[in-house]
Amino acid sequence: MVVVTGQNKVSGNPDDAMSSSDAEDDFQEPATPTATQAGQALPLLPQQFPEVVPLNVGGMYFTTRLSTLRRYEDTMLAAMFSGRHYIPTDAEGRYFIDRDGTYFGDILNFLRSGDLPPRERVRPVYKEAQYYSIGPLLDNLEDIQPLKGEKVRQAFLGLMPYYKDHLERIIEIAKLRAMQRKARFAKLKVCVFKEEMPITPYECPHFNSLRFERSESETKLFEHHCEVDVSFGPWEAVADVYDLLHCIVTDLSDRGITVDHQCIGVCDKHLINHYYCKRPIYEFKITWW
Phi/psi at 157 (5° precision): -65, -20
Per-residue pLDDT tens digits of the chain, which is 289 residues long: 444 444 444 444 444 444 444 444 444 444 444 444 444 544 455 789 999 999 999 999 999 999 999 999 999 999 999 999 899 999 999 999 999 999 999 999 999 999 999 999 999 999 999 999 999 999 999 999 999 999 999 999 999 889 999 999 999 999 999 999 999 999 999 999 887 655 444 344 333 444 445 555 555 555 677 899 999 988 888 889 999 999 999 999 999 999 999 999 988 877 666 677 888 999 999 999 9
What pLDDT is recorded for position 194?
87
3-state helix, strand, coil in the chain (%, to 5): 40, 15, 45
Phi-psi region of 237 (alpha: psi -120 to 50; beta: other; left: phi over 0): beta
Q: One-letter amino acid identity for 243?
A: D
Element (H, E) at 135: helix 135-142
CA angle, residues 6, 7, 10, in degrees to nearest 5: 90
What is residue 243's predicted lDDT score, i.e. its pLDDT? 94
The verdict on pTM exceeding 0.75 is no
Distances (CA, A) of 26 to 15, 23, 31, 212: 17, 5, 13, 94
- How far apart (Å, rounded) are the C-alpha atoms in residues 229 and 226? 9
**Single-letter residue type at 280:** P
Of the CATH numbers 3.50.50.60, 3.30.310.80, 3.30.710.10, 3.40.309.10, which one belongs to the domain with range 52-144?
3.30.710.10
Res 276: pLDDT: 74
pLDDT given at position 46: 72
pLDDT at residue number 278: 84
Q: Is 123 exposed, middle or buried (0-12, 13-18, 19+ CB in 10 A)?
A: middle
In degrees, rounded to 5, the angle at the alpha carbon of residue 71 between the alpha carbons of residues 65 and 73 is 130
What's the chain's length in residues? 289
Q: Which helix (H) or strand (E) holds 278?
A: none
Q: 124 in helix, strand or coil? A: helix
Q: Which residues pair with 270 in a beta bridge?
A: 276
Parallel, antiparallel, or unpaired for β 95-97 and 52-57?
parallel
Determine the pLDDT at residue 47: 81
Residue 271's pLDDT is what? 64
pLDDT at residue number 12: 47
**241-254 vs 163-181: helix crossing angle, rounded to 10:** 60
Burial of 136 (0-12, 13-18, 19+ CB in 10 A): middle
Question: How much is the pLDDT for 197?
Answer: 54
Report the SS3 class of residue 230.
strand
Q: Are 78 and 69 in contact (CB under 8 A)?
A: yes
Return d(Cα 241, Cα 184) in angstroms, integer.
28
81: buried, middle or exposed (CB in 10 Å: 19+, 13-18, 0-12)? buried
User: Where are the domain boundaries for CATH 3.30.710.10 in the chain?
Assistant: 52-144
- What's residue 26's pLDDT? 45
Q: Are 136 and 160 in contact (CB under 8 A)?
A: no
